A and B are shown apart, each in its own frame.
Chain A
Amino acid sequence: MVERPHQQPSQQQPSDSQSTVISGRHCLTDEVRHQFPILHQQVHGQPLVYLDNAATTQKPNAVLQALDHYYRCDNANVHRGVHALSERATWAMESARDTIQQFINAASREEVVFVRGTTEGINLVAHGVAESILQPGDEIVISAMEHHSNIVPWQLVCQRTQAVLKVIPILPSGELDLEAYQQLLSERSRLVAISHISNALGTINPVAKIISIAHDHGIPVLVDGAQAVAHTPVDVQALDCDFYVFSGHKVYGPTGIGVLYGKQVWLDRFPPYQGGGEMIRRVSFDHTEFNTLPYKFEAGTPAIAEAVGLGAALQWFSHYRQHSLWEHEATLLYQLQAQLKTLSGVTIIGNAKEKTAVCSFTVAGIHPHDLGTLLDHCGIAVRAGHHCAMPVMDFFNVPATVRASLAIYNTTEDIARLIKGLEQSMEFWQ
């Protein structure tokens, strides 16, 4: 833990009354929704129903206030000045790092690197693997379920190093083909990069098993946790993953900030990702000595306010991150899927046994893009498109889907509104 300066910014916590009523679903959503000012607005004359949480979540007052407080009271550059504001800004940012460490249960704060988001985290690891491990003919293993951000960095690395990309196939259920995965691993496999939860299908992948199998072959594993952190417990030590990456904005935090967790043994081995200030210890024109972890990977002035905001988001979310929340989201997903199945022409894409918070579907005769516009006019925000997962769309032979994705503040009423909106859209389309 870093030492606190004398003037501490006030941490925004849910009040006791809020944290004691979370056992009941009704109370949970009522109390939670109250903390999200953006939800209380009308869109096209209808109360907003926000079901695009897999793209980004909304921000609670705790985060908005933390950002506001930082800029009003503490703003300065970090790790540089000796003045009070710099001390406070440094404390605020490093406290956020401690919060993140606790949130994902990392062994040490040095293993928590601030990045812009999941995409930059994966690119950082790809760069490190390319520079320190990969030889021509080596293999990187990903899956057919990945977001483009966990495909393209590896393609670029493979092009540069003449390594080969291997892809774990998916099954029609929307689950990974684990038998094929085991057969795919070889003596040339150097890394497995896999999503924890699919952003397009909602599938929860058995990452602990995937990691254990890879480790049996001595292969490290990167887990893309972008969709997971807000919807399932994450314990990087229990998973024993070598890298875990996620974005702040998908877990109620600000955009522009994310986290790369990496086991120290790997981060020590990797060369710096970018050069600049902060990541150095001593610079001359002959030689530069790099800073220690995690600063070796944090060149330049970081996104300080956003890091502070992410810390506030995770502290806030930690009060709700328990069984009743997972149950709440599972119940909503069950209701959503059950009611979708009663509508004619609706096909749900991805029917994994272990699935959460995301439901992709198509409606016969209406292109997802048109449906997205029609639902928007009912005040309902969903995503229509390929969800940056074109290979998944290809596998299911659809150009695009409509995706409704859930968060802590969604309600049974939201599901009912979506179903009604779909019925109205279908009627309009007749």
Chain B
Amino acid sequence: MNPELKQLYQELIMDHGRQPRNFHKLSPCTHVQQADNPLCGDQLTLYLDIKNGVVQDIAFQGHGCAISMASTSMMTQAIKGKSVEAALTLFKQFHELIMSGESSENMGRLIVLSGVKAFPMRVKCATLAWHALEHVLSANDGQAITTEY
């Protein structure tokens, strides 16, 4: 298998893909957001507990490929405890990382997902949960989200 694939499926991604963190229902919580990728059938449900402008807790359930599961899992870890404002900033930075490969300083381990950039057909896998997150944090109307815009 070639180096690009190794770059895509790094150890950390495989680990999160196989054993996603924060993979459970959150009850009670303040927000539930469904996210579907109609092209491949990925379905995620994102649970957020937002109080005082801070994401106190975040979890998810669903099924998807290794990239989408790992991206969602790592997103929940990165977002937990962040202010809504900081979470939105991280969304923008993550989006930039996946689309153009440009990383910001505070990306932390999310940087391992940058390999997705070389696989345009897989970008939606990596960004599905992030779009759902952004939808909750900015629009906040509880509508279902897909990656089709």
Contact = CB atoms under 8 A, between A and B. Distances in A.
Interface stretch (B64-72, B91-99, B141-149): B64-72
Given A386-B40, A390-B41, A377 B66 contact: no
Nearest to B121: A373
Interface stretch (B1-9, B24-32, B46-54): B1-9
From DSSP, what is the main secondary structure of chain B's interface residues? mixed
B1 A424 contact: yes
A370 B125 CA distance: 10
B109 interface: no
A393 B4 contact: no
B8 A399 contact: no
B134 interface: no
Contacts of B9: 370, 428
A400 B41 contact: yes
Interface residues of B, number: 21
A403 to B, nearest CB: 13
Chain A CB within 10 A, most for which of B1, B41, B67 = B41
B1 A393 contact: no
A44 interface: yes
Contacts of A428: 1, 5, 9
B64 A373 contact: no
Given A385-B39, A399-B42, A400-B40, A367 B65 contact: yes
B65 A377 contact: no
A384 interface: yes
Contacts of B125: 369
Interface residues of A, number: 21
A373 B8 contact: yes
A428 to B, nearest CB: 5
A370 to B, nearest CB: 5
B43 interface: yes
A368 B122 CA distance: 12
B40 A370 contact: no
Contacts of A425: 1
A386 B41 contact: yes
Nearest to A148: B38
A384 B40 contact: yes
Nearest to B39: A385
A374 interface: yes
B65 A369 contact: yes
Interface string B9-47: 100001000000000000000000000000111110000
Interface string A365-390: 01111100110010000001110001
Given A367-B64, A367-B66, A369-B65, A399 B1 contact: no
Contacts of B42: 369, 399
Nearest to B5: A377
Contacts of A368: 40, 65
A289 B85 CA distance: 64
Interface in B90-122: 119, 121-122
A284 B119 CA distance: 56
Contacts of A367: 64-66
Nearest to B63: A399
Contacts of B4: 377
A294 to B, nearest CB: 34
Contacts of A370: 9, 65-67
Nearest to A398: B41
A369 B40 contact: yes
Interface of A: 44-45, 366-370, 373-374, 377, 384-386, 390, 393, 399-400, 424-425, 428-429
Given A44-B2, A369-B64, A386-B41, 11 more contacts: A369-B40, A369-B65, A370-B65, A370-B67, A374-B1, A384-B40, A393-B41, A399-B43, A400-B41, A428-B5, A429-B14
8 contacts: A45-B2, A367-B66, A369-B42, A370-B65, A373-B5, A374-B1, A384-B40, A399-B43
